[in-house]
Amino acid sequence: MVKRRLRRSPGGAGTWVRGTSTLPKVFDQPNGSKLELLWKDKQLVGPQKHPSLFSESIGVLMAMSRRFNWTKNWELQDVGHKQWLWDNIKDSWELDETRKEPTLGPISSDEFRNKKSKWKRKFYTPYTTYEERVSHRPHQLSQQEWVQLVEFWDTPEQQAIFERNKANRAKQIAKHATGRISFPQFEEIMSKEHGAPPSLGDLFVRTHKSSKTHDALDDQSRDYIEKMNHLAGRDEHGAQLPLTNEIYREVMPPERHGRVRLRKRGVTPTSYFGSRLSSDNRVNDLENQVVEMKRVAEEKEEERQREIEEMRRQAQDKDEQRQHEMDEMKRQFDARDADMEARLMQKLLEMTTTHSRLSSN
């Protein structure tokens, strides 16, 4: 079920938008009924829209469970909470234990990151002040969870990462048109359509052209496609000849780097599609990969140090809280002792007064 709700824009105007989906088509299955999944190695390839639904259902469970800490990377989440996710996702999908690692690994990690990215784009970035941001939150998160996430994004470290990622996205000039469908799914679809796996060139054209307009989404992709078509040529009837892997490698520049959508971590268009790199350039590419691996390792170490520092801060806060509680208990004990002493003195005074009155009589 998807409910409509009114979203307020930074200018104060309201727009009716789709609300939070509870995915009844996944979670309201009859007892004992489960949805099918088709795998190719560790990649989901079908059937039809099930891979996208599978990822979306993981995201729904993550957001609605109130279990996960959204300021931490997926790798740092509690193992018990990940096991809970696995146990619950198996209730709706046909899964065996061999699919646990890819489900709780790259698939869940991507969905975890996508959730945060969506929330940041819709509820954080449009606003400029802390007060505005905390007053506009995703419905899946509690106010406490959202405040914690906003304060995390406000830190200088996260702001620096945000600026770096923004610059990297600006370099992505060849836009794909795959939406929520992964490259392996498109390979599988095209293999069934044509009876054989697609060439690298055909796969690029299919994933970078709009299915509605049949045109590329950007000038750079259009230029790549036109160059490949020109090299392939046409037959005697004027029909476009197939785009071979060699033609793709000749046209595609070696500097075209970045992760291939949902293929797997670390895979780039260069390593996945291939390139026309010379041996010297391949050495340089390997060196660049080593530099990138070191950068990623340094980021993870920085993240680990921030986690340790946060744990230390929390421990210090707990120590201060305990000390405060002990001081409060001591104050109460002292007050009680003083009160008891005052009462005893009052009793002694009363007894002395009574004794003196009796003696005088």
pLDDT in tens, 275-301: 444 444 555 666 667 777 788 888 888
Identity of residue 311:
M
Least confident interval from 168-172, 289-293, 320-324: 168-172
Q: Could you count the other beta carbons within 10 Å of the beta carbon of residue 357? A: 9
The per-residue pLDDT for 86 is 95
Q: Strand, helix or coil at 234?
A: strand
Distance CA 181, CA 262 (A): 9
Is residue 179 within 8 Å of 100, Cβ to Cβ?
Answer: no
Distance CA 40, CA 188 (A): 9
Nearest by Cα to 206 from 226, 166, 243, 178 = 178
The per-residue pLDDT for 285 is 60
Identity of residue 160:
A
Mean local confidence (pLDDT), 134-153:
93
Is residue 200 within 8 Å of 273, Cβ to Cβ?
Answer: yes
* Per-residue tokens: 226: 């036109």
Q: Strand, helix or coil at 31?
A: coil
Distance between the two ends of the chain, CA-based, in angstroms? 93
Question: How crowded is the C-beta side of 167, counted as CA atoms within 13 Å?
Answer: 5
Rounded to 5 degrees, φ, ψ at 78 are -60, 135
pLDDT digits (tens, 9 = 90+) for 76-124: 999 999 999 999 999 999 999 999 999 999 889 989 998 999 999 999 9
Mean local confidence (pLDDT), 181-209:
83
What is the DSSP code (8-state) at residue 10? T
pLDDT digits (tens, 9 = 90+) for 229-276: 999 998 888 888 889 888 888 887 765 533 444 344 444 555 544 544
What is the DSSP code (8-state) at residue 258? S
pLDDT digits (tens, 9 = 90+) for 183-194: 777 788 888 888
